[in-house]
Amino acid sequence: MKNYLTKRNDYTRDPFFEAFDDFFRPVFYDDRADSMRTDIRETDNGYQLDIEMPGFDKKDVKVALENGYLTVTAEKSEKEEDKNGKYLRKERSVSCSRSYYVGDDIERENVKAKYENGMLTLNLPKSQPKQLPSHNIEIE
């Protein structure tokens, strides 16, 4: 199955649709996804994802690969009161999640993850295409 890590919609290059997209962003998009900005690179052997996750510790981050989707989740335990006082307004999220469709051509056992200084780096090696044995068909 094909993965869609590198596929982008062509309409995003059209200025009309870019303006349309920005206009409706507060209604249709979850702005918390901005807290997990991602760079995706295709290498000779697979894909590399660099995901910004500032403010989270390594123990707060979970990565799962299931049914062709790579899901990254980060969650902090929230305290009722801070030692410096009670919050009157809190806009910084304490949890976020994002999924990426990677398909079935990833070697699940060899996926590597590294978290350092608020940056999660994932290396997803491509699996070798399965070669089906040739089959001769007898002509009647």
The mean-pLDDT minimum among 5-9, 50-54, 55-59, 86-90 falls in 5-9
Domains and CATH numbers, the chain: 10-77+93-125 (2.60.40.790)
Can you give the pLDDT at residue 86? 76
Tell me: pLDDT of 37 over 50: yes
pLDDT mean over 3-24: 51
Can you give the pLDDT at residue 71? 94
Select from 47, 50, 30 the least CA-distant residue to 39: 50
pTM of the model: 0.64
**Radius of gyration over alpha carbons of the chain, in Å?**
21
Q: Is the dihedral of CA 44, 125, 115, 4 positive or negative?
A: positive
The b-or-e profile of 57-79 (16+ CB within 10 A means b, else e) is: eeebbebeeeeeebebebeeeee
